[in-house]
Amino acid sequence: MDFRDLPSVEVLVSRAPLRMPRPRLVVLAREVLAAARTRIREGLAPGDLDEALADRVRSAGTPSLREVINATGVILHTNLGRAPLPCFQALHGYSNLEFDLETGGRGKRDSHFRPLLEELLGHPAIAVNNNAAATYLALHELAAGGEVIVSRGELVEIGDGFRIPEIMERSGAILREVGATNKTRIQDYAQAINEQTRLILRVHPSNFRMVGFTGKPEVSELAALARERRIPLYEDIGSGCLIDLKGLGIEEPVVQESLAAGADLVTFSVDKLMGGPQAGILAGRADLVERLRRNPMYRAFRLDKLQVQALETVVRLLVNQDLDAIPAIRMILTPAEEIRRRAEGLDLRGWTMEPGESVIGGGSTPGESLPTWVLKRPGGADALAKLRAQDPPVIARIADEHVLIDLRTVLPGQEADLAAALRTL
């Protein structure tokens, strides 16, 4: 078959059942023809074009963004939307977003979560669109035109273009590097302070670990220096761990501990270990938080109403200590034995079970893992593709030519669909 044998867009459209406006039909017909040309180029038959167009017409109203089953065991999977959200009924219509129901006057959108957040952290706090925005806002408001001292070991890239030196440059602050990659001492910070210094910045190296001959001051040591020299200490904590996970062998800085150790300002993500929607929190000294709140860029980075609703939900659950209702946290805390029982409950033939490892992911806790049980059977890329083609799609992992299924990240309501998908292999 040759390109010349393909019908024109006109002809294809004229033969289609007219269930949508012509211009949209033309777009879909072009997509069908482009796909057919690709198939011909690959030496394949183009298939039934009328049928292909009818298919596209049928699925034209189906959203591209949809539910998937995460069977990878990576809890904060960057490609799968980071933290799965706690349940809440999304408000589609009007709400009291910026309306005070008591007085009938104007309200503030952050009133829905701010008091709870402050109860949780013990400090004033505001929220913006993500932690990248929070970092930018903090540097822009507190240090533009002046110097920010950072250890050479903390000039990190978080992923997809977020690099501390670049954000710093855009914020208008001047980077003052101190120490060496592997070691920075408190004296290095002390010696770098001058009249231009506006901030001491500490960055959590979220997605990598340094081992061997390394060292850096404790937050409390930096805080003592900062207080003595009257310069604010700002820590970009990254992952926003609000509950101590050291009992599980997870070494992540805890937000409240950093504030208690004397950081004047901290920022962190809401959709990492906090288990909420995409957002970033800035918390700390009341005067600093108030300045950040008044910066014009705060408005540019503000949360939309769905984020406000999801953030209120997760903060309320955290304050009420209802950790089981926050899926990401529940997944982290689930014992391996329970995952084994759930996997057995699927009652699958042809799969074996063995101990494995889940990871928290999302640019946190590198090199650390949680013990789990995985379902396993021989298979490769073909098997993964077949699982992705199910409804809902199942995302799995491959190791040593075996498909691995980790129930840790499968939500309770998804087990029947998962079992049906796995039986197709």
Ligand X SMILES: *Cc1c(COP(=O)(O)O)cnc(C)c1O
d(Cα 246, Cα 63) in Å, to the nearest integer? 41
- With b for 16 or more beta-carbon neighbours within 10 A and e for fewer, the 266-285 pattern comes to bbbbbbbbbbbbbbbbbbbb
Say whether residue 365 binds ligand X (CB under 6 A).
no
Min dist. Cβ of residue 179 to ligand X (A): 18
Q: Rank residues 46 and 280 by Cβ distance to ligand X and give the closer one.
A: 280
- H-assigned helices in 151-275: 164-171, 186-192, 219-229, 255-260
Say whether residue 361 binds ligand X (CB under 6 A).
no
What torsion, rounded to 10 degrees, do the Cα atoms 425, 380, 344, 250 define?
-150
Say whether residue 343 binds ligand X (CB under 6 A).
no
Position among 203, 289, 308, 418 found at the interface with ligand X (CB under 6 A): 203
- H-assigned helices in 320-399: 327-333, 336-345, 381-388
Say which DSSP state 58 is in: H
Q: Rank residues 130 and 414 by Cβ distance to ligand X and give the closer one.
A: 130
Q: Rank residues 115 and 366 by Cβ distance to ligand X and give the closer one.
A: 366
Interacting residues of 187 by C-beta distance below 8 A, sequence separation 6+: none
Q: Rank residues 136 and 373 by Cβ distance to ligand X and give the closer one.
A: 136
Say whether residue 235 binds ligand X (CB under 6 A).
no
Q: Which stretch binds ligand X (CB under 6 A): 95-103, 131-139, 213-221, 411-419?
A: 131-139
Min dist. Cβ of residue 362 to ligand X (A): 7
Position among 70, 72, 151, 239 found at the interface with ligand X (CB under 6 A): 239
What torsion, rounded to 10 degrees, do the Cα atoms 70, 72, 78, 80 define?
-20
Say whether residue 236 binds ligand X (CB under 6 A).
yes
* Residue nearest ligand X, CB atom distance: 238
d(Cα 378, Cα 399) in Å, to the nearest integer? 10
Q: Is the dihedral of CA 285, 287, 292, 293 positive or negative?
A: positive
Min dist. Cβ of residue 189 to ligand X (A): 19
Kindly determine how many residues on this chain lie close enough to bind ligand X according to the rule CB under 6 A.
15
Say whether residue 135 binds ligand X (CB under 6 A).
yes
Q: Could you say which residues in the range 157-186 bind ligand X, by CB under 6 A?
A: 158, 162
Min dist. Cβ of residue 424 to ligand X (A): 35
Q: Rank residues 160 and 400 by Cβ distance to ligand X and give the closer one.
A: 160
Q: 275-304 mask for ligand X (x: CB under 6 A)?
A: -----x------------------------
Say whether residue 204 binds ligand X (CB under 6 A).
yes
CA 144 to mean position of chain CA atoms: 28
- H-assigned helices in 213-254: 219-229
Using an 8 Å Cβ cutoff, are 360 and 330 in contact? no
d(Cα 286, Cα 295) in Å, to the nearest integer? 15
Q: Which stretch binds ligand X (CB under 6 A): 144-152, 232-240, 384-392, 410-418?
A: 232-240
End-to-end, the C-alpha distance of the chain in Å comes to 34
Say whether residue 255 binds ligand X (CB under 6 A).
no
Q: Rank residues 28 and 279 by Cβ distance to ligand X and give the closer one.
A: 279
Nearest CA among 175, 98, 134 for reference residue 295: 134
**Which residues of the chain form contacts with ligand X (CB under 6 A)?**
130-132, 135, 158, 162, 203-204, 206, 236, 238-239, 269, 280, 363
